[in-house]
Amino acid sequence: MLRIRNLSLSYGAQNVFRDVTFDVHRGEIVCVCGESGCGKSSMLKSVLGFVDAEGDIQVDGIRLAETTVDEVRRCIAYIPQELSLPYETVEEMVRSPFALHTNRHIVFSEEKLMSDWRMLGLSGDLMSKRATEISGGQRQRIMLSVAGLLGKRLLLADEPTSALDEDSTLLVLDYFKMLAKERGIAVLLVSHSPIIMAGCTSCLHL
């Protein structure tokens, strides 16, 4: 699903990472880990074409290039580390991604959403809340559930459990495993969590 060969990133004379090569297949969860500033988040953004790294990136057989970047992005669900979402209500937060042009063929199902929320330890009454009334951890899990329902072949997640306690982190890990095993999604995530790292298919240390 994701094929990366000899990926390198530099900012001026500073090498962030060099000659990174790995694959993420459908049904796998790969965790990128390492010290702060080693380029973990930049690697995710390079897969989306937001960061110009040297090397070869292919998503579902499509080589990332200026002419294919939109096609590549249509294959990917992305959860950034900073979730500053401009929505007034949780319902708007949940439904808005399905209204985007690239996702209009996907039918939103509140029943499926509630099923995924139960897996993630979220209660259904959150749908009636204002976005300012929910915690950072709830926001992370809500957006993860939306990403899981979009049906993308590759899921990128940057520190998806940074605002969660141990019990909630375990729920998120189980959710990732379900997405990989039952929905055939390839998952690439950045995490410092020992729980997440221990539960992944493999870890890539930058």
pLDDT tens digit string along 10-41? 988 889 999 999 999 999 999 999 998 899 99
Phi-psi region of 79 (alpha: psi -120 to 50; beta: other; left: phi over 0): beta
pLDDT tens digit string along 157-203? 999 999 999 999 999 999 999 999 999 999 999 999 999 999 999 99
At 68, list the tokens. Answer: 């294919």
User: If pLDDT is split at 50, 70 and 90, which confidence band does 87 have?
Assistant: confident
User: If pLDDT is split at 50, 70 and 90, which confidence band does 104 have?
Assistant: confident
| Number of continuous H segments (helices) and E segments (strands) in the chain | 7, 9
Q: What is the CATH number of domain 2-205?
A: 3.40.50.300
User: If pLDDT is split at 50, 70 and 90, which confidence band does 86 have?
Assistant: confident
Q: Which residue would you say has higher pLDDT here, 29 or 104?
A: 29
Residue 85 in this model has a pLDDT that exceeds 80:
no
Percent of the chain past pLDDT 90, that is, above it, reads 91
User: What whole-number distance in Å separates Cα of residue 70 and Cα of residue 49?
Assistant: 9
- Tell which residue, 191, 196, 155, 202, has the closest CA to residue 40: 191
